[in-house]
Structure 1
Amino acid sequence: MQPAYLRIADDLRRQIVAGRLAPGDRIPSRHQLARQYDVSDRVAVEAVRLLISEGYVESRSGSGTYVRRRPAVRRLTRSWYREARGRADSPFRADMEAQGRAGTWRSSSQSDTAPPAVAERLGIAEGDPVMRTHYVFLADDEPVMLSTSWEPLELTRGTSVMLPEEGPHAGAGVVARMRAIGHEIGMANEVITARAITAAEAEELDEPVGSIVMVIQRTYSTAERPVETADIIVPVDRYELSYVIPVE
């Protein structure tokens, strides 16, 4: 049998999703919920805490608990047409320009060793050297998404693109950077999953702990081998993904 606090949270969640409880509406107090669902105050509090952790409601000190106002959902375009042209500018910046927003990012790179999952995606041995780069992407200075990429150092070590955000090709997309050192990317593979946000991601994205994020596992490959893989983290309450795929 479903615990009482989950039953209450489910009912309130359905009302929020359906719009019967709109953004800014105050939800019933714990005493009102306890009477309405015939439970103790403690059970009612547990239900509300769950909804707070999921980002559906927010508590205001001395005032009550209210349905959280969510940002307008925007679109991120995953376009192989654009990627294949290998333009010198970043695909993210181009996407933000199309929306009339300024796309920027913060990044940090360091040499690392490939963990098992990354090694499998890159077709290298676990522990092989890689360049790991972590990004926080911003639109009009608002955090949009996160990305961590890995590139085999056997391909890039000593080249002008070894550090993705330094040198003559800083800020270019992966396709353009790899082309600059003689590796022509011909395929991008993406696997999309969803999970709860981590505490570190919530802090970087200014999202509530308990929010859901999409995880795009992207791998770029030439005809011979994978040359880069990345985990891209996108909050589902802010962005939807649109795919533009060529049909021959």
Structure 2
Amino acid sequence: MSSKKPGYAEIASHYRKLIADGTLAPGDRMPSMSKVCEEFNVAITTANRAFRLLKAEGLTTAMPGVGTVVIDQPRTATTAAARLDRIARTGQPYAKKEVSVNHTAQLRSITDPILAGQLDLDLHDEVVLRTRTFVRDGKQTVFAVSCINVRALTDVPELLSPEPFDRFWQEIYTARTGRTVSKSPERRSARLAYDYELEALGVNVDPGTPVPVLVLINTFSDEDGPLEVWEDVYAPGLWQVDTR
């Protein structure tokens, strides 16, 4: 910890992040006030204000005889940035009670001019397209699509296998090439979902029915330019907690 004592908002942000990425799952006990004071070197009043803020935000509740616990938030889903942060911090690819299903991998011709520009490719160039659906507590939450520059296949040919990696594939790429991969700021937008996205998310509507969805986009690059565009499509009605 830094010698500068954090304020209650910073302490709340720390635990908010752990809750948002699933490190602290619904039903988990929060640390005691004394442990928070010891970890952050703050007074009990500061720790208490942080816990009151988390409770006011609907993230925790006090249970007699148990203490403060994390409560269920069925309408929240982990952002891609939070997911990557959790992997870097804990090595865990999934939050508690979360899995990914229906993995696919294939070579595809790129036909979207915006995506082609993001990957610095020409239209109809080939890309590696990998998809999977994240499921939490039995409910589909995110349909994830990775468009990867084919040059990555030279060092990570496993990208064409639909089997999930036991760690983020870019870690394997870096280990084999020595190249550092950087991520651009996460971008958020909303659009109407495609029918195949709704099918993946288990949304049952008539074909062509307009359904707005939240989309998060992350772009990764190395010294040779753009390497991957990662697009997450969230099930209708889901929202994220700001973990900054």
- TM-score, with normalisation over the residues of structure 1? 0.56
Local SS of the residue matching 1:193: strand
- State the superposition RMSD in angstroms: 2.9
In the alignment, what sits opposite 2:19? Answer: none
For 1:145 and 1:80, how far apart are their aligned partners in 2?
A: 12
> In the alignment, does 2:145 pair up with 1:142?
no
Local SS of the residue matching 1:76: coil
Kindly, what percent of the aligned residue pairs are identical? 16
1:112–1:86 Cα change, 3 Å? farther
For 1:81 and 1:146, how far apart are their aligned partners in 2?
A: 16
In the alignment, what sits opposite 1:14? Answer: none
1:171–1:88 Cα change, 3 Å? same
In the alignment, what sits opposite 1:103? Answer: 99
For 1:147 and 1:127, how far apart are their aligned partners in 2?
A: 22
For 2:90 and 2:158, how far apart are their aligned partners in 1?
A: 15
In structure 2, what residue type is equivalent to 1:152?
Answer: N
Say whether the 8 Å CA contact 1:175–1:184 is kept in structure 2.
no
**1:176 maps to which of 152, 163, 171:** 171
For 1:227 and 1:123, how far apart are their aligned partners in 2?
A: 9
Local SS of the residue matching 2:107: strand
The equivalences for 1:1-248 within 5 A come to 72-77=74-79, 78-79=81-82, 82=85, 85=88, 89-90=92-93, 93=94, 96-97=95-96, 101-115=97-111, 116-157=113-154, 159-163=156-160, 165-166=162-163, 170-182=165-177, 183-209=179-205, 210-237=210-237, 239-245=238-244
Give CA-to-partner distance per residue, 1:92-126, whole Å, 9 cap, x none: x1xx22xxx13232211111122222221111222
Say whether the 8 Å CA contact 1:86–1:173 is kept in structure 2.
no
- For the pair shown, the structure with the greater C-alpha radius of gyration is 1
1:72–1:162 Cα change, 3 Å? closer
More strand by share: 1
Q: CA deviation at 1:191?
A: 2.1
Say whether the 8 Å CA contact 1:193–1:214 is kept in structure 2.
yes
Q: CA deviation at 1:222?
A: 2.2
1:131–1:119 Cα change, 3 Å? same
For 2:222 and 2:201, how far apart are their aligned partners in 1?
A: 32
1:138–1:119 Cα change, 3 Å? same
What count of residue pairs does the alignment treat as equivalent?
Answer: 165
1:170–1:163 Cα change, 3 Å? farther
1:102–1:85 Cα change, 3 Å? closer
1:132–1:220 Cα change, 3 Å? same
Say whether the 8 Å CA contact 1:153–1:162 is kept in structure 2.
no
In structure 2, what residue type is equivalent to 1:127?
Answer: H
For 1:120 and 1:80, how far apart are their aligned partners in 2?
A: 25
In structure 1, what residue type is equivalent to 2:76?
Answer: R
For 2:190 and 2:222, how far apart are their aligned partners in 1?
A: 28
In the alignment, what sits opposite 2:42? Answer: none
For 2:76 and 2:123, how far apart are their aligned partners in 1?
A: 38
